Amino acid sequence: MNTDVKNNRTKHGSCSLSNALNMLGSRWKPIIICAMRKRKTRFGHLIAVIGLSRKVLTEQLRQLEEDGIVLREQLNESHVEYSLTPKGLELVPILNQLEAWDRRHLYQTA
């Protein structure tokens, strides 16, 4: 076993969700992915739908692109489209399940 993997398990227990949660660890990344789940979208559309500042959205999209979840496509000098990569598309059913879970438990108390 790779020592980095072994050390990571020691630090974070045996839960293998650490990398996934680190990748999706911001409040906005899952929301951005959900906003893009059905089609390619432009930056301005994401701002309108999500209501983020340009700075935060740019930062989050860059991180998602670095992690291989989002693809950035420059159409011309002023237009860019974003879409989910195959890796990003694999997250859609998981996020759909989280949304369904949230709806079921939204008004329940402990």
- Is 5 a residue whose pLDDT tops 90? no
Secondary structure E strands in the chain? 41-42, 70-74, 80-84
23 pLDDT band, cuts 50/70/90, is confident
Mean pLDDT of 93-106: 91
| CA distance linking residue 11 with residue 21, whole number of Å | 15
Is the pTM value of this prediction over 0.85? no
What token pair was written down for 100? Answer: 């369904």
Q: How many residues does the chain have?
A: 110
Domains and CATH numbers, the chain: 26-105 (1.10.10.10)
Chain segment 36-89, per-residue pLDDT in tens: 999 999 999 999 999 999 999 999 999 999 999 999 999 888 889 999 999 999
Cβ atoms of 60 and 50 within 8 Å: the answer is no
Mean pLDDT of 88-99: 94
| CA distance linking residue 14 with residue 10, whole number of Å | 7
| CA distance linking residue 104 with residue 76, whole number of Å | 44
